[in-house]
Structure 1
Amino acid sequence: MANSNLLVLTGATGFLGSKVLVLALEAGSNVRIVVRSAAKANKVFNSPSIKALNPSAEKLSHVILENMEVPGAFDEALKGATHVIHCASPIPSFGGVAPTQEHYNEHFIQPAVRVTIGLLESSRKAGTVRRVVITSSVVANVPWYYYLGQGDDKIFDAESRIPVDKGPYGSEFQAYGASKAAALNESEAWIAENKPGFDLISILPGWIWGADELATTPKDFKTSSTNSVLLAYLRGSQTDAASHINSVLIDDVAKLHVLALDPKIPGNQAFLAVADDIDGKDWEDAIEIIKKNYPEAIEKGLLKTTGKQPTIRIRLDAKKTEETFGFKLAGYDEQVKSLVNQYLELVKA
């Protein structure tokens, strides 16, 4: 018999998934995390927030799944589950260039589709699942050439859809975008064709920034999560390669995932998770934020105002998200301060 509220969560060892886990436990869910090893499960259980919550074995359990891509991989993990949140995903190294087209296809596109459809198949097989929430991305519904600065002023919203970019892929980030588009399109097509006993919600965040509990030393920010990109800029990194700035606070995007479990939120739809207005912000705005809030850190050289990062403006409308979920997404100012506050605390420690 299914637990009255058993959430199965993938990606709990990552930046977003770890935050989703904490919020889900705080909201009263019983959570079963899917991890690749016992060591990764222990890392989750020993994080400060989980230790503070001190959940019972019933409230927080784990299942080890070394390979999510094999057929039926999630069958055992989803037994008795009522809800699923799928945060796990291959993450690009932002600027990394791999040697072959096949590498991108094998590392990003094929796994994204296999794991997503496999998860949906196992959810149907479980017979108890009522809703699946999947982390997608804004790169899933905006054509790649917009990220190269070659787009127009079109406004994209949660209903925008694009064909999958077939390559050749010039970077890991382009392949990652194709994988997200493929997973989004294929998952929605699967729901429409199979009409399972559960519905699907996709959350499409932009850059995710803010305090990261998994980062326990200043060095961790160089390798952990998307925060590394913003912090490098605020530490003086310079590049001529322009990038979009559509972003969301980690706390808010995690909150959207957990609130999406509520049946009051209509299913079989997607939601953009990007803050600020449609016209967005510039990277340079972050320099003004640190000048205003952290003059001492700048004086000590902990932060620098010499960073160079050209901005590509992509117009995204997340009004539907704020209206449906009933709260305002924290803007760029709060995102920058959340990250910098933690970074400076760790430097001081």
Structure 2
Amino acid sequence: MSSVTHRVLLTGASGFIGNHVLAELLSAGFSVRAVVRSQVKADKLLQTHLIAGRKLDFCVVADITAHNAFSRAFESQEPFDTVIHTASPFLYRDVTSNEDLLDPAVKGTMSILYGARDHPTVKRVILLSSIAAIIDYSEAAPTNGRMWTSKDWNPVTRDEANRAADYSTVYRASKTFSEKCAWKFMEEQKPHFDLVSLNPPMVYGPLLHSISDISQLNESNLRIWNLFLNASKDSKMPPNGVYWYVDVRDLALAHLRAVTKPEIKNRRVIIAAGSVTSQEIADILRSTIPELAERTPVGKPGEDIFPIDGYSVDTDPATDILGLEFRRKEQTFLQLARQLLEIAKRTENKSKE
């Protein structure tokens, strides 16, 4: 770990991932300006990070897609050397059209890059991208399996994204287009800073911020609630979906490490702990938390059935360069499940009052 104290501009700080990234940065002693969309979100962050003191300040940017959206955020007596951009739309319940996912992702990314370009003290921009920008999802069953690497790109086109009937396809496109625009910016503008993109698969794990109701969960954790904690033992086992995953706390640590590692510059890095099937998640939950006996699908215990010729991903840069050691899946899913059950109980008790 570098002994240098960094000054970091962090977007999306109030989100599921951004909150954990903020905690890592503050724990390392870095000075952070958190970009949030309202003063209410800033106040909640202060409650979550009470020990931050003068190491944490805020800038409210209501619309990250607006022209020069981050110009005021970059104004600081203590100049920034690092920018971490985690802000991106990914709440299907807030989406009314495909453009609601596509445009903000691209415009927000470009806005932060142009803002950094105008401030010569910035040495690195770290972009939270996704494995969705890497995998070609049209390859339903690639022959002989496949290892996806940082050299691969999701080949989705704008026309396909606009015509897509499901928001998951549009989300993948939004991550692809925004990251491609970032690398094109680097090639054409040749700015004074380098770029690092972190590309996680499904991100699970306990919340650091408080929510008042299960409905406020991020999409990945909401999937665990709906399919594994609020179902029944006789429910059909959910499909595996994207069966590669990472714990949000490990992903947050990856952001911290990316600040301090010179050798990671201008690279895409897949941040993934491993693979897990729906059956395995169900087995972990049912075998350890008694109250889930009637709520979690039974399926066929012990049968971890992966897709035929299932794919893998290249995690070597994450472990070799960033030095990550990933949490066991039991830690991720059990800690998350216990937290969600507690939130649900609090909500139920309040409704009875």
| TM-score bin (small chain) | 0.7 to 0.9
Cα distance in 1, alignment partners of residues 171 and 42 from structure 2: 26
1:233 Cα deviation after fit: 2.0
Distance verdict in 2 for CA 1:347–1:39, change over 3 Å: closer
Partner of 1:269: 267
Partner of 2:214: 220
Cα distance in 2, alignment partners of residues 187 and 81 from structure 1: 19
Cα distance in 2, alignment partners of residues 289 and 177 from structure 1: 29
What are the equivalent positions in structure 2 for 1:85-124 lying under 5 Å apart? 85-93=84-92, 103-104=97-98, 106-124=99-117
Matching of residue 337 in structure 1 with residue 326 in structure 2: no
Q: Which runs of 5+ in 2 are unaligned?
A: 347-353
Corresponding residue SS for 1:70: coil
1:345 Cα deviation after fit: 4.2
TM, length-normalised to structure 1: 0.85
Cα distance in 2, alignment partners of residues 204 and 127 from structure 1: 26
1:63 Cα deviation after fit: 0.8
Q: Deviations over 1:218-245 (max 9, x none)?
A: x426643421102222222647766121
TM, length-normalised to structure 2: 0.84
In structure 2, which of residues 258, 261, 269 is the aligned counterpart of residue 260 of structure 1? 258
Cα distance in 1, alignment partners of residues 95 and 116 from structure 2: 35
Distance verdict in 2 for CA 1:129–1:346, change over 3 Å: same
Instruction: State, as a whole percentage, how many aligned pairs show the same letter.
Output: 25
1:319 Cα deviation after fit: 2.0
Cα distance in 1, alignment partners of residues 277 and 296 from structure 2: 17
1:145 Cα deviation after fit: 1.7
1:264 Cα deviation after fit: 3.4
Q: Deviations over 1:64-121 (max 9, x none)?
A: 1111112211122123211111111010428x985xxxx21x2122221211112111
1:135 Cα deviation after fit: 0.6
Matching of residue 66 in structure 1 with residue 66 in structure 2: no
Check the 8 A contact 2:236/2:297 in 1, yes or no: no
Check the 8 A contact 1:243/1:311 in 2, yes or no: no
Distance verdict in 2 for CA 1:253–1:242, change over 3 Å: closer
Partner of 1:318: 315
Amino acid at match of 1:38: Q
Aligned residues: 327
Distance verdict in 2 for CA 1:250–1:307, change over 3 Å: farther
Structural RMSD (CA): 2.6
Cα distance in 2, alignment partners of residues 305 and 85 from structure 1: 39
What are the equivalent positions in structure 2 for 1:130-209 lying under 5 Å apart? 130-146=123-139, 149-152=140-143, 153-166=145-158, 167=160, 168-209=163-204
Check the 8 A contact 2:237/2:279 in 1, yes or no: no
Amino acid at match of 2:114: E
Distance verdict in 2 for CA 1:348–1:68, change over 3 Å: closer
Partner of 1:28: 29
